[in-house]
Amino acid sequence: MASEKISVRCCIAGGGPAGMMLGYLLARAGVNVLVLEKHGDFLRDFRGDTIHPSTLEVMHELGLLDEFLELPHQKVYELNAQFGEMRLTVADFRYLPTRCGFVALMPQWDFLNFLAEKAARYPSFDFKMEAEVIGLIEESGRVVGVRAKTTTGEYDIRADLVVGADGRNSIVREKAGLRVKEFGAPMDVLWFRLRRSAEDPAVAMGRFDSGRIFIALNRGDYWQCGYVIAKGQFEHMRRQDFESFRAAVVKLAPYARAGVRELRDWDDVKLLTVRVDRLLEWFRPGLLCIGDAAHAMSPVGGVGINLAIQDAVAAANVLFKALREGQLATDHLRRVQKRRELPTRLTQWLQVAVQRRIIAPVLVESGPLKPPLGARLLAKLPFFRRIPARIIGLGVRPEHVDPTLTRA
Ligand SMILES: Cc1cc2nc3c(=O)[nH]c(=O)nc-3n(C[C@H](O)[C@H](O)[C@H](O)COP(=O)(O)OP(=O)(O)OC[C@H]3O[C@@H](n4cnc5c(N)ncnc54)[C@H](O)[C@@H]3O)c2cc1C
């Protein structure tokens, strides 16, 4: 970065799914855009590795799908769950009206690297890693840029628009003073990997047992595991013998016994704190928040990345012309929130309902687990598996890339 004056049309804080997709789309539309990412690479664990049918549809609309699917991935056609002794398919993606009737499991760093590479082809795209946004620059009540800390010092970057895509602990939304509504979550998630052998079951599986919930995603040679615990319980668990944790995992996933033995201690297990919240207003003059920065998503349904990408597509559609022509008004930012608020509200409402009605009761249950009514209905009426598939795979009001966005 040049030290004197850095000035761009749009400066995006955060190179996660929301920030990288918006950066790519704006660059493709010919908008001068800079993405700042505080880490030095995309190699972070616990980011969720699910690429949903709606995102794959966006990749198709951008002409990138075939090349994208050449990257190593696993295809998940259905989601399965076991409640006590009852096993069932909860969602079947094969019937979705999309090009890909599956969720692609792919390390998120591969997805983000792919977007970064594609974006780098456009001269109007700039991407800086190890560049952390630490403050906003404001003039007369309007955000006009950010202050960023890099390996070579601190810089002021001026922009017509600052986008906060810096995730659930967004510094941008905090510094902007945007008000947040918290919805609470009864659980946290312990995240770890177990070696997978050829004899293990092939499908993704959620297991609900008295007091415990366990998710295992097939990642080829390993299982990505999520062990759901009551909020705040981790400190108590850490004081206990690691062996009892190992035994609890083996009980839930007996096929992974050999992998569980390889877990050494609590350092092999990461705590992911679950939060659900939403900004009352996603914007201020000169500033917009999208993705988890605007609405931290629960891991329920694994839809957070999906929503982040959809926000990016909606924001690009609404903003690219105004940004390109230097005509951005606050009303454009209002239109982005208006477009994305309903899908976000409905999705969070469903997530909170599942947290309260299914997850919280299972976590405190000590007797035999009775499958919830919804699970019993899905077991009896397979046709209805298309509904969760639609909510998870496509979401509410899927976005499509404006065909005029690509600069000729
Ligand atoms: C336990 C758990 C499991 C989950 N599993 C899934 C799943 O399987 N599938 C799914 O779809 N969703 C999942 N989610 C939700 C998902 O992780 C998020 O909804 C999604 O990552 C949001 O994308 P984003 O781009 O808005 O933010 P993020 O992915 O959080 O990206 C924000 C980026 O901004 C960077 N950043 C932060 N601060 C700054 C700063 N000051 N300056 C510059 N850069 C900054 C960060 O390093 C990061 O790269 C899960 C969530 C949890 C808690």
Residue with CA at minimum distance from ligand 1 atom 12 = 304
Q: What is the signed CA dihedral for 265, 266, 268, 273, rounded to 10 degrees?
A: 170
**H-run or E-run covering 243:** helix 242-252
> Is 408's pLDDT higher than 70?
no
The answer to whether 363 touches 213, Cβ cutoff 8 Å, is yes
**H-run or E-run covering 308:** helix 304-324
Residue with CA at minimum distance from ligand 1 atom 41 = 133
pTM of the model: 0.94
Report pLDDT for 38.
95
Q: Which tens digits make up the pLDDT trace of 302-313?
A: 899 999 999 999
Give me the mean pLDDT over the 281-307 stretch.
95
Residue in 47, 23, 98, 112 with CA at minimum distance from that of residue 315: 23
CA of 218 to the centre of ligand 1 (A): 21
The answer to whether 295 touches 183, Cβ cutoff 8 Å, is no
Report pLDDT for 295.
98
Q: Looking at this protein, which amino acid is placed at residue 193?
A: R
Report pLDDT for 45.
58
> Is 23's pLDDT higher than 60?
yes
Percent of the chain whose pLDDT exceeds 70: 97
Tell me the pLDDT of the chain averaged across its residues. Answer: 92
Q: Which atom of ligand 1 is nearest to the CA of 275?
A: 53
CA of 294 to the centre of ligand 1 (A): 12
**Of the residues 305, 344, 347, which should be mutated to test ligand 1's pocket, given the most ligand atoms within 8 Å of the CB?**
305
Residues near 320 by beta carbon (within 8 Å), at least 6 away in sequence: 25, 26, 29, 31, 402, 405
> Is 4's pLDDT higher than 60?
no
> Is 379's pLDDT higher than 90?
no
**H-run or E-run covering 8:** strand 6-13
Q: Which tens digits make up the pLDDT trace of 28-39?
A: 999 999 999 999
Q: Which tens digits make up the pLDDT trace of 242-280?
A: 999 999 999 888 888 888 999 999 999 999 999 999 999
CA of 279 to the centre of ligand 1 (A): 16
**Of the residues 21, 35, 38, which should be mutated to test ligand 1's pocket, given the most ligand atoms within 8 Å of the CB?**
38
Q: Which tens digits make up the pLDDT trace of 128-140?
A: 999 999 999 999 9
| CA dist., res. 261 & res. 216, Å (int) | 16
Q: How confident is the model at residue 2 (pLDDT cuts 50, 70, 90)?
A: very low
> Is 241's pLDDT higher than 90?
no
